[in-house]
Structure 1
Amino acid sequence: MDANAVSHWRTWAWITWLVAAMLLLAFLDLTVHAVVVSSTALVLAAVSGPAGWRRQKFDKLDLTVVAVLYVAVVVLFRVAFTVFTATNVLGLFLCFGTGLTLGVAGPVFYTVRRGRHLSDLGLWLGNWKQAVGLGLVLAAIQFAVTLLGYPLPTPVDWVPLLVMSLTVGAFETIFFRGFVQTRLSASLGQVPGVGAAATLYAVYHVGYGMGGEGMVFLFGLGVIYAVAYALTRNFLVLWPLLTPLGSFFNNLNGGEIELPWESILGFADVLGLMAASVWLGHRMLRRSARRRAVAGQRAQRP
């Protein structure tokens, strides 16, 4: 079997695993689901061969920046939800919004600073058809398992939650998949990188004040998201459908978060700041490329 055939087999094996993992949400206890998902993923990774365990280069600076940004985001969220709480809405939102924005702007500007393209963060359209196709399949399964037939409350009780879910989903996709997972996979190998990123994704929910049982399920869910992203390396596989749908259902079903209509403007502002940081990072890369091109032309002159 040639290399292309092997790669094709691995891709379809992981896609089949992803579909099965999402479908099992309808049948298994959440903790059991996490155990089944993580163990079967490890077995499939072992069967797929040594490619997933190879690392590129151990980069201390990458790992340091990942650790610093991760701690900063978790601390900001923790302060927002356990110090300010809903009794101080302004303080809560400012800390929460700062953490969300930092989780996107920090990776963008660090990536630019290292001379890497934003495709390193999944922010590109090179294979958008594959990413959107896989994202639609997984999101359709998640919708059928969670939201199909779910009785929605009055719009004020769910529309702001949906906007919040879109904002948080954008942050999680870029920060945890595009940045944390990519950088860990480069230094540790793809399989260890996926496992470490899924662990950090689960643990970061301590910032929301979540307990250990919920984190076990989120580890399994983090493995699913990480594998989907690893197959496409494109943020469109997870956002704006898959991760926001999961967050939206969790917030809606939990019934613990109440947001006024005005919160939509706040989350729209955060989304705008995220988009602005990506746009600015893209401009900085183009400007740097032009400077290098001019310098190269000057060097070639007699």
Structure 2
Amino acid sequence: MPEYGYFLSCEEHRPAELVEQARMAEQAGFQALWISDHYHPWNDAQGQSPFVWSVIGALSEAVSLPVETAVTCPTVRIHPAVLAQAAATTAVMTGGRFRLGVGTGEALNEHILGDRWPPLPVRLEMLEEAVQVMRRLFTGEEVSHHGTHYTVENARLYTVPDEPVPIDISGFGPKATALAARVGDGYITMAPEEEMVTRFRKGGGGAKPVSGGTKVCYGTDREECLRTVRRLWSNELLPGEMGQVLPSPRHFEQLADLVTEDMVREKSVCGDDVDEHVAALSAFADAGFDRVYVNQIGSDQRGFFDFYRTKVLPRLTG
């Protein structure tokens, strides 16, 4: 049986709201937390984007649940040597209850310093080298590294956890999944596809944990929930590589009309049908996932947690 966790959305909520949601998640019976790591939201309607490491610091005092970034890009916006320090300190503050989820990122967040946004093959190279740098630094030993993409000189982390921070790698296609299988401590993907889980495990991932996540919009008015999803998260339904290459929230807003209400109705879990919510999360369990995270879209967080505490989680874990 998978563990079920809650996915905190930094794109939608202020820091204090995220901390309160984490408390409600723990009280509702969720077993772990994911938290997104963005510089920008996907659109202005989402409206927020706090610095994730500050929020996790507050989470370490507010709850006892394990926490993982889903996901951090350690390649462009922040140098992997700096992220290694952030992750190591976070692991110490959470008593070892932290995993670092990483991926190749999006131009939306990573181009802000004017760096060229490279094509996917180069981003995968950068991600692998960044993981190598961070792992060496997690040992607490002095590190000098002169690689293809990164240089580190005489760097040493003095505050490190007892065990190195586990690094899970996000992948949505065969190349990223192969990288996750080869060098990751776990695998993250966002669709309940058994084929991808099998590819990871047979590619070298073995019994390492596979984690997935989904978004829902709980509410008693299904039509209002559909409108909320379309207003806030239409970017989730855009095809192809747009999510990786568009550089600004306004570009996603310009494409929002491509996502129709019928598309949202077909692809999204909306409303208060218990069976629909259970089926969406059970699909991950059926595909072989070890951890499943769910995010509530919109402002009715308390209603969502009450609904999952009393009706959904008992069905999933009973």
Length-normalised TM-score, structure 1: 0.25
Higher share of residues assigned helix: 1
- Larger RCO, structures 1/2 (Cα 8 Å, 6+ apart): 1
Higher share of residues assigned strand: 2
Length-normalised TM-score, structure 2: 0.24
